Structure 1
């Protein structure tokens, strides 16, 4: 088996173990720091609402950011960073943090919200994801 194949296999085994540990819907206590930046084109305001962590709707102008900190038990069935985004009457949702994937969010997880979906850097590469 190639070196790449072994790494992929090990990662999938690790993910399987983590998933089985989180099977009851509760992960261990975590600390997360998440930042969202409005990167929509055309000077459009972005409304952000993450009901499980903050009951306040935030309106961000282009280039503005808002940050949340979370510490405690993380429920996989009711995740704190399942957030709602709205601009120009277009509502969208996205789960900004999945603890078994987003290890870097413990330090600082920064998202850039674009029309096509939320984006974040992995090393030096900006990767964008489709909306839910």
Structure 2
């Protein structure tokens, strides 16, 4: 799992990702910086969900970075996210672009 700061104007992105059972801590990403986490496995009940809060210049937003029932197939090989002002976008292996975009929660 990887998250990139692709905010405009060189803004620093503060990101805090966690699940019901795991808190991955707060990270300040410079423009173009990334945060990666590995070694998580879906739970026995197939209900694993990670979400992230993001903040820049006082703008606080949330998004689901991994929901088992949605992301099991689309994140089998890579699961890379780009955070932009308008919302997070997932890397699409078919197009080679970050074009699977979601609104903020």
What TM-score does the superposition give when structure 1 sets the normalisation length? 0.66
Gaps spanning 5+ residues in structure 1: where?
Answer: 1-33
Which consecutive aligned stretches of 4+ in structure 1 deviate over 4 angstroms post-superposition? Answer: none
- Tell me which moved more, 110-119 or 100-109: 100-109
Q: Structure 1's 55 and 41: CA in aligned 2 closer, same or farther, altered over 3 A? A: same
Structure number with greater Rg is: 1
User: Relative to total residues, which structure has the larger helix share, 1 or 2?
Assistant: 1
1:112 partnered with 2:82? yes
Aligned: 1:100 with 2:69: yes
Give runs of aligned pairs for residues 1-132 of structure 1, distance below 5 A. 34-52=1-19, 53-69=22-38, 70-73=40-43, 76=47, 79=49, 81-102=50-71, 103-122=73-92, 123-124=94-95, 125=97, 126-132=99-105
Task: Give the TM-score normalised by the residue count of structure 2.
Answer: 0.81
Unaligned stretches of 5+ residues in structure 2? none
- CA RMSD between the two structures: 1.8
Q: Report the count of equivalent residues.
A: 97
Q: Greater strand percent: which structure?
A: 2
Distance 1:112 1:95 in 2: 13
